[in-house]
Structure 1
Amino acid sequence: SKPHVNVGTIGHVEHGKTTLTAAITKREKLKLLPLMKLIKLSKPMFLL
């Protein structure tokens, strides 16, 4: 089991905070897709 980590982003308006967060989230979701197919989940719990 991996430890949980909370990450905060601080920055000026329109300097890419949301883009960075979306990129990290997408990367992690893509890593989970093969596992979800293996255990036959239609959607990850965080997308429900």
Structure 2
Amino acid sequence: MIVNSEQGIVNHQGPRRGAEFEEQLKEEEKLNKAILENLKKVKLG
């Protein structure tokens, strides 16, 4: 278990395998892009 006490984040999974990590990163980037687009729409609206 990895604990980052400064941010209060607990990671129970430990280090991920490379390919699995890359896949998650791509998904998170896609979600972040969608969130930013939605925020822009809200600001304009």
TM-score bin, normalised by smaller chain = 0.3 to 0.5
TM-score between the two structures when normalised by the length of structure 2: 0.43
Q: Which has the higher contact order (CA 8 A, sep 6+)?
A: 2
TM-score between the two structures when normalised by the length of structure 1: 0.41
Whose strand fraction is larger, Structure 1's or Structure 2's? 2
> Which protein has the larger Cα radius of gyration, Structure 1 or Structure 2?
2
